[in-house]
C-alpha cells in the first residue's frame, strides 16, 4: 500500500521531538512492504540542521512553506495514496491541511489524523469551541496518537472521532543501543529535552532542584532553547544533541532523567520517545511519576520513579554502580521485548487492515 504522510520533518530532529518516532515507525512499515512518502515543509531551519540524509526506505518531499507548496504537494500525494496521513504539529498551515486532507483523498483511500501531541491538541480544542480541528476530526476515518491511553481515546471519541487508538513511542534497536561512554556527556544525571513552556517548571523541579540539593554531583542539560536559562553551577548545558549522539548522551551518565511535559503527565499513559531510546541505549532511567507508567516499565526494577526533585536526589544518592547496571539491563530487556517499532507497526497494520509482508532488514 502507498502511505503519504504529512508531518513536521523526517530528516531533522531540530526543534522536532517527533523525528525518531516517525523514523522508527515508518521504517518498520516499509519493512512490511508498504511504500512511504513523507511530505515536510522547508521551515524552522530544519533543512539546515538535518541529522540524516533521505532514507532508502522512504521518499522525502520537501515543499516550500507556502500555500502553493502544501496544496501542490497534497494534490500530488492524494493521486496515488492508499492511506493519507495528516500529523499534528507541522507548524505551518496545519489548519488548512487538516481540512484539505480529508477532502483530497481518492475514493477508497483512508484519511488518518495522527496526533503526536494529543494532550496539547485536546487542551486547545476543549478551550476553543470554534477550533477548526473540531469540525475536521469526525471526517477522518481514524485518529491515531503516540500516547495518551484511555483518557485521550475517550476525549477524541467525545469530539466525534470515528475511531481512536494509541500507537505509542518505541525503540528501533538498529539506532539506539549501548555505546562507550564519552567524557563530554559524563555526569551523574542527564536530561535531554527542548525548552518548552509546559516542560520548564517540571525541569526546574525534577532536575534543578535535585542539582541544588546535591551540590557535589554533576548534571547535564541537553536540548535546544536553554541558553538563557539560569542554572546552578553544577549543571552544564549540552545544547541541541543530534540523534547520532543520543546513545552516547544516554550511556555516559550514571542515570538519565525523563520529565514529561505538564500536559502529558496530566493525561498519563504518555511515555516520551526518550524513555524507550534511553532504555535501548542501556541507560538507567529515573522518571517523574505519571499514571500508566507500569504498563511500559516496572517501577523499581526496570525504571526508577520520583514524585519530585527531592525524591530524584534520594534515588541518585542511593544509586550504586551495581544497581545502575541492574536497572539498565532490566529496562533494556523490557524495551526490546515489548516496545520496538516493529511491534508498533504490526499494530498499525492491524488497525488499518493493511497487508504485511515483512522484508529483511
Report the C-alpha gap between 53 and 51 in whole angstroms: 7
Which grid coordinates are listed for 147?
A: 500516547
Q: Which domain holds residue 135?
A: 2-170+340-352
Verify that 144 and 197 share a domain, yes or no. Answer: no
Residue 353 has a pLDDT of 84
Verify that 45 and 193 share a domain, yes or no. Answer: no
Report the C-alpha gap between 280 and 31 in whole angstroms: 20
Is the residue at 357 inside a domain? no
Residue 354 has a pLDDT of 61
The answer to whether 341 and 170 are in contact (CB under 8 A) is: yes
Kindly give the parts of the chain with pLDDT less than 50. Answer: 360-361
Is the residue at 177 inside a domain? no
Vertex 186 angle, CA 180 and 190, to 5°: 110
**What are the residues facing 340 on neighbouring strands?**
171
| C-alpha Rg value of the chain to the nearest Å | 20
| CATH for 104 | 3.40.50.2000
pLDDT in tens, 9-67: 999 999 998 999 999 999 999 999 999 999 999 999 999 999 999 999 999 999 999 99
Is the residue at 359 inside a domain? no
Which grid coordinates are listed for 327?
A: 536497572
Verify that 9 and 135 share a domain, yes or no. Answer: yes
Residue 360 has a pLDDT of 45
Verify that 278 and 194 share a domain, yes or no. Answer: yes
Verify that 347 and 208 share a domain, yes or no. Answer: no
Verify that 159 and 234 share a domain, yes or no. Answer: no
Verify that 156 and 189 share a domain, yes or no. Answer: no
Residue 38 has a pLDDT of 98
Domains held by the chain: number = 2
Verify that 95 and 214 share a domain, yes or no. Answer: no
Residue 355 has a pLDDT of 57
Verify that 126 and 81 share a domain, yes or no. Answer: yes
Is the residue at 116 inside a domain? yes
Is the residue at 358 inside a domain? no
Report the C-alpha gap between 283 and 241 in whole angstroms: 16
Which grid coordinates are listed for 258?
A: 525523563
Is the residue at 93 inside a domain? yes
Question: What is this structure's pTM?
Answer: 0.91
Report the C-alpha gap between 317 and 302 in whole angstroms: 18
Is the residue at 114 inside a domain? yes
Verify that 200 and 136 share a domain, yes or no. Answer: no
Verify that 216 and 248 share a domain, yes or no. Answer: yes
Is the residue at 76 inside a domain? yes
Verify that 221 and 144 share a domain, yes or no. Answer: no
Amino acid at each position: 500500500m502507498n502511505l503519504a504522510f504529512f508531518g513536521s520533518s523526517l530528516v531533522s530532529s531540530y526543534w522536532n521531538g517527533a523525528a525518531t518516532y516517525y523514523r522508527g515507525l515508518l521504517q518498520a512499515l516499509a519493512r512490511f512492504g508498504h511504500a512511504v512518502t513523507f511530505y515536510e515543509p522547508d521551515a524552522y531551519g530544519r533543512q539546515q540542521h538535518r541529522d540524516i540524509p533521505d532514507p532508502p526506505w522512504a521518499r522525502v518531499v520537501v515543499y516550500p512553506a507556502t500555500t502553493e507548496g502544501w496544496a501542490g504537494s497534497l494534490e500530488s500525494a492524494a493521486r496515488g495514496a492508499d492511506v493519507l496521513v495528516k500529523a499534528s504539529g507541522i507548524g505551518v498551515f496545519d489548519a488548512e491541511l487538516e481540512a484539505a486532507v480529508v477532502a483530497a483523498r481518492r475514493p477508497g483511500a483512508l484519511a488518518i489524523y495522527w496526533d503526536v501531541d494529543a494532550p496539547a491538541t485536546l487542551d486547545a480544542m476543549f478551550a476553543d469551541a470554534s477550533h477548526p480541528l473540531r469540525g475536521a476530526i469526525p471526517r477522518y476515518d481514524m485518529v491515531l496518537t503516540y500516547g495518551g491511553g484511555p483518557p485521550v481515546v475517550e476525549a477524541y471519541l467525545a469530539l466525534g472521532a470515528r475511531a481512536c487508538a494509541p500507537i505509542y513511542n518505541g525503540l528501533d534497536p538498529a539506532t539506539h543501543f549501548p555505546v562507550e561512554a564519552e567524557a563530554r556527556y559524563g555526569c551523574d544525571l542527564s536530561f535531554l529535552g527542548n525548552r518548552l513552556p509546559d516542560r520548564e517548571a517540571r525541569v526546574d523541579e525534577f532536575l534543578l532542584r535535585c542539582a541544588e540539593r546535591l551540590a557535589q554531583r554533576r548534571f547535564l542539560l541537553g536540548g535546544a532553547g536553554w541558553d538563557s536559562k539560569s542554572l546552578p553551577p553544577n549543571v552544564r548545558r549540552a545544547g541541541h544533541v543530534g540523534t547520532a549522539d543520543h546513545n552516547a548522551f544516554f550511556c555516559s551518565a550514571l542515570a538519565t532523567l525523563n520529565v514529561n511535559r505538564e500536559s502529558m503527565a496530566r493525561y498519563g499513559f504518555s511515555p516520551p520517545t526518550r524513555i524507550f531510546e534511553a532504555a535501548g541505549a542501556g541507560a538507567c532511567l529515573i522518571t517523574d511519576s505519571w499514571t500508566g507508567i507500569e504498563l511500559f516499565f516496572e517501577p523499581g526494577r526496570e525504571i526508577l520513579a520520583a514524585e519530585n526533585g527531592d525524591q530524584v536526589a534520594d534515588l541518585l544518592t542511593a544509586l550504586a554502580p551495581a544497581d545502575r547496571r541492574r536497572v539498565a539491563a532490566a529496562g533494556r530487556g523490557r524495551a526490546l521485548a515489548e516496545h520496538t517499532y516493529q511491534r508498533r507497526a504490526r499494530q498499525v497494520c492491524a488497525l488499518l487492515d493493511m497487508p504485511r509482508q515483512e522484508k529483511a532488514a
